[in-house]
Chain A
Amino acid sequence: MSNNIESHLIENRVFKPSKEFSKKARIQSMAEYKKLWEESIKKPDKFWAREAAELKWNKKWSKVLEWKEPFAKWFVGGKLNVSENCLDRHLDGPHKNKAAIIFEGEPGERRVITYQQLHRDVCRFANVLKRNKIKKGDRVIIYMPMIPEAAVAMLACARLGIVHSVVFGGFSAESIKDRVHDSGAVAVITADGGYRRGAIVPLKANVDAALKDGGHPVKRVIVFRRAGNEVHIEEGRDVWWHRELEYVDANCPAVELDSEHPLFILYTSGSTGKPKGILHTTGGYLLGAYTTCKYVFDLRDEDVYWCTADVGWVTGHSYVVYGPLAMGGTSLMYEGAPNWPDNGRFWKIF
């Protein structure tokens, strides 16, 4: 008996891209796709070196790929910084005053953050991290609502070579605890609370519960004030984000990092066993997020682009934060549920 899987559902409807869309697209025909795909498979070094040249490198790589199955090193010897590629790179020209993030909170408030402003926010927060003795190679848990400060925290970590592990704001204290222990995180970045269907999710209280038994390396908890709910502040461990900002300036050069320096760990729960900490590194990851935004979303300068995923998932990493910002795009972030206050919320955002 064959062990293959049978298929019975055959779909015959075909939808071709409109001429109008194709005319402006980066890849306009199947012939073009096939040609480039062939090249990317037969001469991957040539293809990826050409794409990688669109990013900013502090030092060029000596070798595109070193493959010792199953361990890969991409852009061996190359040095770059993800945050510099997502921010500083766009400050020289007209993108400086372009919206990097458009944010809508669940209660309805809107903020537009330009590349220049986001750069400033990230530099200041990176200085807060430094001030709190968090350094290159350290791991930090980010447990935040879907607000721009989540992206600020990620980019500030990336700026200093700190490895972030974002834990989805809907996860429990138990999940935070597992991830703190597995990653050996020295700090947690969180908020007092976030909004979900009109209620406040008590994020800080969950962090407290996760850390209460001790036996972990967390020395610092940085708390952003979002929802205004009352929270416990543990003397000597917890600090307020806004208070810390009073002590820092906005001058923070990005640290030159090896192409294979760890960028983030993201845990997947899986159906069995303990969560797996999926490790992504600097150069190859950024290039993947960048090229897919460029070719798959065909992201244009005039676009406002909205990925509805939370930053707690890989989709939020690659397609809310790193990919669109590396492209100099405008990324829309919405904090809450699609059915609050009614089932039309998503469409109203348009």
Chain B
Amino acid sequence: MYTAPTAIRAFIKWGDEWPKKYDLSSLRLLGTVGEPINPEAWMWYHKVIGGGRCPIVDTWWQTETGGHMITPLPGATPTKPGTATLPFFGVDAAVVDDNGKEVPANVGGKLVIRKPWPSMLRSIWGDKARYKKTYWSELKGMYFAGDGARRDKDGYFWIVGRIDDVLNVAGHRLGTAEVESALVSHASVAEAAVVGRPDELKGQGVVCFVTLKQGVEARQELREELKKHVRTVIGPVATPDEIRFTEVLPKTRSGKIMRRLLKEIAAGKAVSGDTTTLEDFSILAKLSASQE
């Protein structure tokens, strides 16, 4: 079974009793695709759906890459919750700084591919110049499509989120995926989306949009608890400035969180630009009203 973390988080929210009603023992392999999976969602998928028995392939790739680029091989790769692990055959992936130089272990940078691969996109339809500019011009000789990552001491790739979404808090640059994973690791949280908003003192403040598991009440004390939780798990630098509880997050029908909208809402601005891919329009008003 191959599905998206956003679906897995919905299953968690709906409760274990649903999958437990059915016999899932024929499952052999699980996969995820679409965004980095939060470690806690990975553990749930592993235990509740996979019965602790099935390998999970957490695959990183894009429309542009045509097929899997960074992924475990299920009979070989030891996995860790939340990492797509190692490059597929023929994929020369690296994490580099703004000059294209590889960064040391556990330091984040730009995720690039340094050699062509068979299923790569060939162009943007009718616009070769845009193809070149979008993917091959930021770093010399490298394909870069916007994602940030770090490699751990075993060389495993951890996607930290889109480079454009990286938070800059008092001079510290933090990927959104880590703060979101920290929030989801709290027993009350079903899903979280983290964005920065302009802050005179710190450069950016950390705003967290949070949906709670079924039966959990949105109380002020829980806000404080979650802020403390992020502080403990990641450190004071990531302490949320604001926690906004919401019933749902604005998503495209493919399940991608529309961060651009959240950034605008977090900054107190009116939502502008294209919202035609948004699945549920009514949530924009609710989100704007969710302020602390």
A residues near B, CB below 8 A?
Answer: 1, 3-18, 21-30, 32-33, 36-37, 40-41, 44, 47-48, 65, 67, 69-72, 74-75, 168, 170-172, 174-175, 182-183, 260, 262, 265-266, 268-269, 271-272, 276-281, 283-285, 287-289, 291-292, 295-298, 300, 303, 305-310, 312-315, 318-319, 323, 338-339, 342-344, 346-348, 350
**Does A308 lie within 8 Å of B122, measured CB to CB?**
no
Q: Which residues of chain A are within 8 angstroms of B219 by Cβ–Cβ distance?
A: none
Q: Which residues of B contact A16 (CB under 8 A)?
A: 78
Q: Report Cα–Cα, A157/B63, bound state, in Å.
A: 20
How many residue pairs between the two chains, A and B, have CB atoms under 8 Å in the bound complex?
295
- 22 of the cross-chain contacts (CB-CB < 8 Å) are A4-B109, A9-B178, A9-B234, A13-B81, A14-B79, A18-B55, A30-B76, A30-B77, A33-B73, A33-B76, A36-B89, A41-B90, A70-B135, A260-B122, A280-B66, A296-B68, A298-B74, A308-B7, A309-B4, A314-B63, A318-B66, A344-B21
Query: Could you tell me the distance between the alpha carbons of A339 and B248 in the complex, rounded to whole angstroms?
Result: 15
CA–CA, A172 and B83, complex, Å: 34
User: In the assembled complex, which residues on chain A have CB atoms less than 8 Å from the CB atom of B216?
Assistant: none
Are B63's CB and A278's CB within 8 A? Answer: yes
Beta-carbon contact of B90 and A306 below 8 Å:
no
**CB closest residue in chain B, given A300:** B28
Q: Which residue of B lies closest to A74 (CB)?
A: B118
Partner among A3, A297, A342 whose Cβ is within 8 Å of the Cβ of B98:
A3
**Closest chain B CB from A6 CB (angstroms):** 6
Q: A4–B80 contact, CB under 8 A?
A: no
**Distance, CA A168 to CA B12, complexed state (A):** 26
Known: A8-B238, A22-B75, A170-B253. A48 touches B118 (CB 8 A): yes
Specify which chain A residues have a CB less than 8 angstroms from the CB of B29 in the assembled complex: 297-298
Chain B nearest CB, measured from A299 CB (Å) = 9
Smallest distance from the beta carbon of B279 to chain A beta carbons, Å? 7
Contact A4 B75 (CB under 8 A): no
What is the 8 Å Cβ interface bit string for chain B, positions 262-287, against chain A (1 contact, 0 not)?
00000000000110110100000000
> In the complex, are the beta carbons of A6 and B88 less than 8 A apart?
no
Residues of B within 8 A of A298 (CB): 29, 73-75
Secondary structure type dominating chain A contacts? mixed
Docked-complex contact B125 and A279, CB < 8 angstroms: yes
Say yes or no: A292 contacts B132, CB within 8 Å.
no
Determine whether the beta carbon of B119 is less than 8 Å from that of A289.
Answer: yes
Q: Restricting to B138-180, which residues have a CB under 8 Å from any CB of A?
A: 141, 143, 148, 150, 152, 158, 160, 164, 166, 171-175, 178
Q: Is the CB of A315 within 8 A of B66?
A: no
Interface size on B, residues (CB 8 A): 114
A4 to B64, CA, bound (A): 25
- Assembled-state Cα–Cα distance A271/B143 (Å): 19
User: Are B78 and A17 in contact (CB-based, < 8 A)?
Assistant: yes
Asked if B7 and A7 sit within 8 Å, CB to CB, the answer is: no
Answer yes or no: B106 CB below 8 A from chain A CBs. Answer: yes
**Residue from the list B26, B74, B128 in contact with A25, Cβ < 8 A:** B74
On whether the beta carbons of A287 and B118 are closer than 8 Å, the reply is yes
Among A32, A279, A288, A315, the residue within 8 A (CB) of B118 is A288
What's the nearest-Cβ distance from chain A to residue B150, in Å? 5
Is there contact, CB below 8 Å, between B173 and A4?
A: yes
Q: Assess the B118–A284 pair: CB atoms within 8 A.
A: yes
With A70-B143, A343-B18 known as contacts, the answer to whether A288 contacts B178 (CB < 8 A) is no
- Determine if A8 and B88 form an interchain contact, defined as CB atoms under 8 angstroms apart: no
**In whole Å, how far is A278's beta carbon from the nearest beta carbon of chain B?**
5
